[in-house]
Structures are given as C-alpha cells and as structure tokens.
Amino acid sequence: MIGNLPYVIVGLLFVYGLFAVIFERNLVKIAVGVSVVEAAANLMLIVYGYRSGGNIPVFTLGGEGGSFVLPTPQALTLTAIVISLATSALMLSMIMVLYRHYGTLDVREIRRLRG
C-alpha cells in the first residue's frame, strides 16, 4: 500500500492543478495551476523509473551491486522540465502583456472574443 503512495500524490497534484486551471479567476493563479499539472506529470515519470534500493544510472559511478533506477524516464523528465520552463516563461510574459492591455488579471473581464 505504502508503495502506491507516490501515485496517489501524483493523482492529487494533477487534480489540484486542473481544479486551479478551471476554477481560479486570477491569471497568475491559473499559470501556477498549469505548473502544478506539469509537475505532476514529471513526478509520475520519475516514480515509474524508480526501483527501490536502486543506484544512480551511471555505469562508472553506480557503486557496488544492486540495480540501477531507469535512466529513460529521467531523460524524459529533464526534457519535459525544459519544455515546461519555456511554456511558463511565455505564459507569464503573455499575462504581463494582457495586464497592460486590459488593466486587470481577472479572467471574467478579459473576454473580448466571443461568439
């Protein structure tokens, strides 16, 4: 049971982030929600790659015996982190431009496009 705890946390983080994206009204809080969703996805990949008692997946530094944790999810996670960094930066800068145009961060007032 305790071994499943990381997955439960991933699920909770994901739902929490999604909840923030859907129900929050402040743009910055929405951006935080997106980051939480991204963190949940990254955590999930890392958890999949973990083997209990495993060493770091570098052959020359791995230490004696035992097994490696899987290197592929770590590589995937690093890539995903870089991508989420780029999207977060772009999202925050767009929020800044939106604030300049509309003078507010409230999503209910930023809606000239409709219909």
18 binds another protein (CB under 8 A): yes
30 binds another protein (CB under 8 A): yes
Buried b (16+ CB within 10 A) or exposed e, 54-90: ebebeeeeeeeeeeebbeebbebbeebeeebeeeeee
Q: What is the x/- site pattern for another protein, positions 81-110, by CB under 8 A?
A: --x--xx--xx--xx-xx--xx-------x
Residues in the chain: 115
Binding site for another protein (CB under 8 A): 14, 18, 21, 27, 30, 34, 37-38, 41, 44-45, 48, 70, 72-73, 76, 79-80, 83, 86-87, 90-91, 94-95, 97-98, 101-102, 110-113, 115
